[in-house]
Structure 1
Amino acid sequence: MTRTQPPQAPSRSRRLLLRLVAIIVALVVWHLFAIGPGSSSGFPTPADLLSEARDVVPTGEYWGNIATSVQTALLGLALATLVGLPLGLLIGSNEATRRSTQLVIDFGRTVPAIALLPLFLLLFGATRTLGVVLILVSAVWPVIIQTSYAVGQISPQLKRVGRAYHLSRWHRLRYIVAPSMFPFVFAGLRIAATISLLMAISSEFLGGTDGLGYLLLQAMQLNDVDRAFLFAFSAALLGLVLNLLFVLLQRRVLWWHSSVRTGDAL
């Protein structure tokens, strides 16, 4: 009887080659669309976008507004984490609490934060506080949900072991709860980080405050399609870089976890 071998994961060089091929294909499709169906609406080609980037990217205004967007996103993400982690721990540690708060969490996470923008504009004006509050009310839910789920799924056997060895509350949190919940928490933080950047740029675009969203708004008002695409592309790259940073942080903190050792954290 022959034993089937599990499929081997592609090597790192092969994965890089496949990603490079995918990027080349995407650029070719983009170029063909820009010179074809998209030419009537002024859709820029990759060469047009590169030419615009050579003029805009070296300027201090560009980097200053990007720094503003990143600072707003990180500040809002930090507040969402500080609020979401303790709430998630509190909710997940008790089954009755988890069931009683389920309706509130389901309602809160489905409310679009952008719908609250007019109210927040009246309360906070077109300031950075507006963006931070929008991020908080939208990015806190993934942190709460993932943390509460992580605490709730901890093995009862591990909890009994902690009680049998008379571990203190701090030691149970450090050696039992934290290792079990960190993989889920990092998943929630990566989702929250993406939402934070999206809300930061959206608040700048709709509220007219400094940042990458405001640059995008100016380009649209001037009907500068190439520049608008450049700023939209910059926002996408920021999201990619932010996600990569969280992946690297996850690999460093969760070096012992199977998803990191097998490369599934990407």
Structure 2
Amino acid sequence: MLYGIVGVVLLLVAWQWGSAAVGSETALPSVPSVVLALGTLALETTFWGEVAVTFGIALLGWGIAAIVGVLLGVFVGTSVTVRAATRVVLEFLRPIPAIVILPLVMLILGPTPEMSVFLIVFGVTLPIAAQTAAGVESVDPVMRNTARSFGMRPAEVLWSVVLPGASPYIGTAMRVAAPITLILTVVAGMLGGAPGIGSSLSIAQLAGRTEDIFAYVLVLGMMGLLLQAAAVRTERRLLHWHSSYRKGE
């Protein structure tokens, strides 16, 4: 924690030095001016509404993508035939950034929260599915065969053996996807006009309010830290029984 505080202080000092060196508040505002702008925003009820909307959209998209991605990953990982039939398609779709389909989604759904949620689901479902499938494939076949030899049905093997064995992969995928959902929410607001901080950030940019732009960036950074911390804490709490997490303790 001490090193983290030192790192933040050094960053602020470098920021302030850069602002003084540039000598233009419109190019790089000083730290006090951005803090003042942030305080002004914090006094507005609309600002907190934007924060809540941004968090809500990110969490909803994250939840839908998690359900769809895990189900798809289990389906692909447990069947050799399905894996062979879908590998090319999944590998083709996975590198495509979600921002590519933004114009099409805007045309269909418009600048709405639904557009942001769809963009998030498209952006993180496939990475979650790929990581889940890898986790399912990594489960020791001996464990599966042992479970079957004890008379366990396929559904019981999946629930009691496969999913627990793949849970570290799924947990990692969910943790990595968490900040990406926030990024996609902001992008949908900035470029697509969807509600949230992204839209306000775009308006501040058009109006030339540099201090507000940097204030929003700080807010988004803090939101990202909170979301990542919540994802890590949830992952450790749910998977505390696994050996890989007990070693970390």
TM-score of the superposition, structure 2-length normalised? 0.93
Distance 1:38 1:134, change over 3 A: farther
Where does residue 214 of structure 1 map in the other structure?
199
- TM-superposed CA distance for 1:158, in Å, is 0.8
1:43 pairs with 13, 28, 33, which one? 28
Distance, in Å, in 1 between the alignment partners of 2:39 and 2:247 is: 39
Where does residue 143 of structure 2 map in the other structure?
158
Distance 1:122 1:98, change over 3 A: same
Where does residue 41 of structure 2 map in the other structure?
56
Distance, in Å, in 2 between the alignment partners of 1:138 and 1:231 is: 23
Matched AA of 1:238? M
1:110 aligns with 2:64: no
- TM-superposed CA distance for 1:41, in Å, is 4.7
1:124 aligns with 2:109: yes
Distance 1:147 1:32, change over 3 A: same
Residues 60-85 of structure 1, C-alpha deviation per residue, up to 9 Å, x if partnerless? Answer: 11110111111111111121112111
After TM superposition, list the pairs within 5 Å mapping 1:1-266 onto structure 2: 16-37=1-22, 39=24, 41-263=26-248
Do the aligned residues in 1 keep the contact of 2:115 with 2:194 (CA within 8 Å)? no
Distance, in Å, in 1 between the alignment partners of 2:28 and 2:247 is: 41
Distance, in Å, in 2 between the alignment partners of 1:216 and 1:108 is: 30
Distance, in Å, in 2 between the alignment partners of 1:117 and 1:83 is: 20
Distance, in Å, in 1 between the alignment partners of 2:206 and 2:153 is: 61
Where does residue 5 of structure 1 map in the other structure?
none
Matched AA of 1:120? V
Aligned-partner SS, 1:110: coil
Which deviates more from structure 2 when the two are superposed, residues 203-212 or residues 213-222?
203-212
- TM-superposed CA distance for 1:171, in Å, is 3.0
Residues 129-175 of structure 1, C-alpha deviation per residue, up to 9 Å, x if partnerless? Answer: 11111111111011101110000110011111111211233432332
Do the aligned residues in 1 keep the contact of 2:26 with 2:210 (CA within 8 Å)? no
Matched AA of 1:69? T
After TM superposition, which residue ranges in structure 1, 4 or more long, deviate above 6 angstroms? Answer: none
Which deviates more from structure 2 when the two are superposed, residues 34-43 or residues 205-214?
34-43
Identity of aligned residues (%): 30
Distance 1:37 1:260, change over 3 A: farther
Which segments of 5 or more consecutive residues in structure 1 lack a partner in the other structure?
1-15
Distance, in Å, in 1 between the alignment partners of 2:175 and 2:17 is: 34
Distance 1:208 1:38, change over 3 A: farther
Do the aligned residues in 2 keep the contact of 1:131 with 1:200 (CA within 8 Å)? yes
Do the aligned residues in 2 keep the contact of 1:142 with 1:189 (CA within 8 Å)? no
Distance, in Å, in 1 between the alignment partners of 2:227 and 2:198 is: 17
Aligned-partner SS, 2:94: helix
Aligned-partner SS, 1:36: helix
Distance, in Å, in 2 between the alignment partners of 1:38 and 1:212 is: 28
